[in-house]
Amino acid sequence: MEPTRTHYVIEGDHWQDIYDFYFKELPSLGWVKEYSDSALDDNDSENDWGGFYSRWTKEGFVGELSVSASYNQYENQTQVMFDQTPIHHSTKWINEVPASLCIYDNLNDEGCVVLDDHEIIQKIVGFINDAIDWEGESPKVQKTGAIVIGEKTIKVLYGGEIELYFQSEIGLKLMKAEPEFFEMTGLNN
């Protein structure tokens, strides 16, 4: 195999050989298959793809190892890709969708904007619950708003276009700065 920028390439259609090799060798080296999908499992005759995708974990290895291969019939090459990705966890902070919530654009504001649209509240709760738990330092941000749900206050730390943070007594969470979140909450990014 010849390495390229993001993957290895071998001439010819060898993805099944590569599949057999890794699915035999990785478990013998202590790797545990977390997920796999392959053309071998696809009985739909309309699908003409050839390849597989798999994710593996191993004690002592930080993250997951992704191994995939596919055959490019136009170039008569099999491409093999490896990637190490971190495993992220999301702790559920809000167990029940409340009837209303209160949003402060600034922590120093006297009053808040009350939301009582169940569908919007459900989406905001989803953003908060799905954000990944963050173990890093508290970010240096330009703006701090808050979302109050019952007795729980969740600070919204933001000001960049890439990410925002949620902070509460439970901890810190990180989320991509989704425009939809700012539209629904009325927070000004």
pLDDT of residue 40: 77
Listed by start position, the domains of the chain span 2-85, 101-185
Q: Could you report the per-residue pLDDT of 111-150, keeping only the tens digit for each?
A: 899 999 999 999 999 999 999 999 877 777 788 899 999 8
> What's the chain's average pLDDT?
88
Q: Which two tokens stand for residue 76?
A: 């008569």
The H or E element that residue 94 is part of is none
How far apart (Å, rounded) are the C-alpha atoms in residues 134 and 87? 12
pLDDT of residue 4: 54
pLDDT of residue 3: 47
Who contacts 53 (Cβ-Cβ below 8 Å, separation ≥6)? 35, 36, 37, 38, 66, 67, 68
Using pLDDT thresholds of 50, 70 and 90, give the confidence band for residue 7: confident
User: 3-class DSSP state for residue 66?
Assistant: strand
Q: Kindly report the backbone phi and psi dihedral angles of residue 122, in degrees, each rounded to the nearest multiple of 5, phi listed first.
A: -60, -40
Instruction: Using alpha carbons, list the distances in angstroms from residue 176 to 31, 36, 43, 188.
Output: 31, 27, 37, 15
Residue range 6-10: average pLDDT? 83
Q: Could you report the per-residue pLDDT of 14-38, keeping only the tens digit for each?
A: 999 999 999 999 999 999 999 998 8
Looking at the chain, the number of H-run helices and the number of E-run strands are 3, 13
pLDDT of residue 22: 94
Residue range 79-93: average pLDDT? 88
Contact between residue 53 and residue 66 where contact means Cβ atoms under 8 Å apart: yes
User: DSSP string spanning 140-154?
Assistant: --SEEEEEEETTEEE
Residue 167 confidence (pLDDT) above 60: yes
Q: Could you report the per-residue pLDDT of 171-181, keeping only the tens digit for each?
A: 999 999 888 99
pLDDT-above-90 percentage for the chain: 60
pLDDT-above-70 percentage for the chain: 92
Residue 1 confidence (pLDDT) above 60: no
Using pLDDT thresholds of 50, 70 and 90, give the confidence band for residue 78: very high
Who contacts 29 (Cβ-Cβ below 8 Å, separation ≥6)? 58
